[in-house]
C-alpha cells in the first residue's frame, strides 16, 4: 500500500512536470515576441486572440500539420532521433528541481521535487551536458554545411562553457555545504548567495547564456551566417522539438539562477506564498534573457572562445579561491 502510494505520487509529479514543460513554450514564445516587438517599437502579435495570446497555439498547429521533410542526403535514423536526444536530457534534469518546501497532504509528507537527490546539482550539470549530443547529431545527420558548422560551434561552445559553469557553482556548494538543491535553498533563508557570490553569479549567468545558446552566444544558430545553424534542415514537428528544447533549457538556467543565487522560494518584503515568489523570480530571469536577446549583438567565434577560456575560467577559479579563503 505504501509503495503503491509512493509510486502514484511520483507518477502524478512526473505527469505534472512533463505537462507544464510541454506547455511552457506557449506563453514563452508569446512573451518573447511581445518583448521583441515593443523593444523595436512594434506591437508584436495582435490578431489571434486578445493581444495575440493564442498566436503560439496557431503556430503550434501549423508546425504539427506541416510536411516533415528529410533531406535526400541525410542520415535518416540519426536525423530522426536527434531532436529526441536533445529534448530528453532537458526534461530529465527537472526531476531534481525542488519547487518549494515539503508539504503535508493527508498526513503524508510530499517533497515538491520528483526526486530530492543528494547530488542534485552534479546530476543536473552532468545530464544537461548530454543535450549537446542531440545538437551535434542534428548537425551531422543533416548533411548540410550550415547544420554541420552549427553543430561544430555548439560542441566547442559547450566545452568552453560547461567548465566555468561548473566552477561557478562550486562556490555555492562550499557555502551551502551540500549539493542538494533544497538544502542549498535552505542555506539562503537568511542571506541570498548573490551577496556572497557576485562573481560566481556573473560567471554562471554568462555561462548559462552560452549554455542555452541565446544572444549574445547564439553562434550555433546564427541567422546571419548559418541560416538557422544546426536545425537548418529541420521542419515541422521536429523543428518545434528543437525550439521547445531551447525554451526548456532557458527555463532551466533561470530556475538554477534563482535556486543557487536568489534564495529560491524565500521571499523578501512581501509575504507572498513561496511558490509565487519562486515563479516570480524565475520569470524575471527569463525576462532578463529576452531583454539581452534584443539588446546585444552576437559575439564572434574567437571572442566567444576568448571569453570562455581567458576570462570566465580564471574568474571562476579565483572565485573558488576567495570563497575558500574567506570560509
Partner 1 sequence: MKRTAASPPKMGFRDWIGWMFFVDLLHGLRLTLSYLFSPSITLQYPDREKWIPYPRFRGHHYLRSDSDGTTRCVACELCARICPCHCITVVPHTAADGERRPQVFDIDLARCLFCGLCEDACPVEAIALGQNYEFSQYTPAALRADLDQLASMPGKVDRGGYVVAARLEAGTRISPTGSTEEGRHWWQQIRGMRVKRDE
Q: Which is nearer to partner 1, 215 or 260 (CB)?
A: 215
Q: How far apart are CB 43 and partner 1 at their closest, in Å?
A: 4
Reference 305, options 238, 224, 219; nearest CA is 219
Strands (E), the chain: 103-105, 108-110
Distance in angstroms (rounded) separating the CA atoms of residues 292 and 117: 33
The values of phi and psi at residue 130, to 5°, are -75, -25
Q: Which is nearer to partner 1, 40 or 177 (CB)?
A: 40
Q: How far apart are CB 307 and partner 1 at their closest, in Å?
A: 9
C-alpha cell at 76: 535518416
Q: How far apart are CB 236 and partner 1 at their closest, in Å?
A: 30
Reference 167, options 195, 197, 187; nearest CA is 197
Q: How far apart are CB 179 and partner 1 at their closest, in Å?
A: 30
Strands (E), 29-69: none
Bridge partner residues of 104 (DSSP): 109
Helices and strands, number each (H, E), in the chain: 15, 2
Distance in angstroms (rounded) separating the CA atoms of residues 207 and 220: 15
206, 212, 217, 219 alpha-carbon torsion, rounded to 10°: 160
Q: Which is nearer to partner 1, 62 or 300 (CB)?
A: 300
Question: What is the contact surface with partner 1 in residues (CB under 8 A)?
Answer: 35, 37-43, 46-47, 291-292, 294-296, 303, 306
Q: Which is nearer to partner 1, 4 or 41 (CB)?
A: 41
Distance in angstroms (rounded) separating the CA atoms of residues 67 and 239: 11
Q: How far apart are CB 208 and partner 1 at their closest, in Å?
A: 16
Q: Kindly report the number of other CB atoms within 10 A of residue 322's CB atom.
A: 14
Q: Which is nearer to partner 1, 133 or 292 (CB)?
A: 292
Q: Which is nearer to partner 1, 43 or 268 (CB)?
A: 43
Q: Which is nearer to partner 1, 109 or 302 (CB)?
A: 302
CA distances from 269 to 23, 194, 266, 277 (A): 31, 17, 10, 11
Distance in angstroms (rounded) separating the CA atoms of residues 239 and 124: 25
Q: How far apart are CB 296 and partner 1 at their closest, in Å?
A: 7
Q: How far apart are CB 202 and partner 1 at their closest, in Å?
A: 9
Taking each helix axis from N to C terminus, what angle separates 2-23 and 25-39, rounded to the nearest 10 degrees?
30
Distance in angstroms (rounded) separating the CA atoms of residues 139 and 1: 48
Q: Which is nearer to partner 1, 209 or 248 (CB)?
A: 209
Q: How far apart are CB 310 and partner 1 at their closest, in Å?
A: 9
Amino acid at each position: 500500500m505504501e509503495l503503491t502510494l509512493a509510486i502514484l505520487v511520483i507518477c502524478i509529479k512526473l505527469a505534472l512536470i512533463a505537462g507544464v514543460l510541454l506547455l511552457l513554450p506557449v506563453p514563452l514564445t508569446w512573451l518573447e515576441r511581445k518583448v521583441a516587438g515593443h523593444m523595436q517599437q512594434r506591437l508584436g502579435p495582435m490578431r489571434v486572440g486578445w493581444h495575440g495570446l493564442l498566436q503560439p497555439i496557431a503556430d503550434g498547429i501549423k508546425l504539427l500539420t506541416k510536411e516533415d521533410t528529410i533531406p535526400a542526403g541525410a542520415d535518416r535514423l540519426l536525423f530522426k532521433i536527434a531532436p529526441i536526444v536533445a529534448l530528453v536530457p532537458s526534461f530529465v534534469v527537472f526531476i531534481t528541481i525542488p519547487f518549494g518546501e515539503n508539504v503535508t497532504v493527508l498526513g503524508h509528507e510530499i517533497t515538491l521535487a520528483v526526486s530530492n537527490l543528494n547530488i542534485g546539482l552534479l546530476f543536473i550539470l552532468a545530464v544537461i551536458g548530454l543535450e549537446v549530443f542531440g545538437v551535434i547529431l542534428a548537425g551531422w545527420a543533416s548533411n548540410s554545411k550550415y547544420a554541420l558548422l552549427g553543430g561544430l560551434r555548439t560542441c566547442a561552445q559547450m566545452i568552453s562553457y560547461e567548465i566555468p559553469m561548473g566552477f561557478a557553482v562550486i562556490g555555492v556548494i562550499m557555502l551551502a555545504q551540500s549539493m542538494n538543491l533544497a538544502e542549498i535553498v535552505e542555506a539562503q533563508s537568511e542571506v541570498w548567495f548573490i551577496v556572497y557570490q557576485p562573481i560566481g553569479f556573473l560567471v554562471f549567468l554568462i555561462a548559462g547564456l552560452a549554455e542555452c545558446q541565446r544572444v549574445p552566444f547564439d553562434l550555433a544558430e546564427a541567422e546571419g551566417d548559418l541560416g538557422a545553424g544546426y536545425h537548418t534542415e529541420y521542419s515541422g514537428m521536429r523543428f518545434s522539438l528543437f525550439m521547445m528544447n531551447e525554451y526548456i533549457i532557458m527555463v532551466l538556467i533561470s530556475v538554477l539562477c534563482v535556486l543557487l543565487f536568489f534564495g529560491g522560494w524565500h521571499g523578501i518584503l512581501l509575504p507572498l506564498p513561496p511558490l509565487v515568489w519562486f515563479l516570480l523570480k524565475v520569470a524575471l530571469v527569463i525576462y532578463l534573457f529576452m531583454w539581452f536577446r534584443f539588446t546585444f549583438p552576437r559575439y564572434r567565434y574567437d571572442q566567444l572562445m576568448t571569453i570562455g577560456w581567458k576570462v570566465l575560467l580564471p574568474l571562476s577559479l579565483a572565485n573558488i579561491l576567495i570563497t575558500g579563503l574567506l570560509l
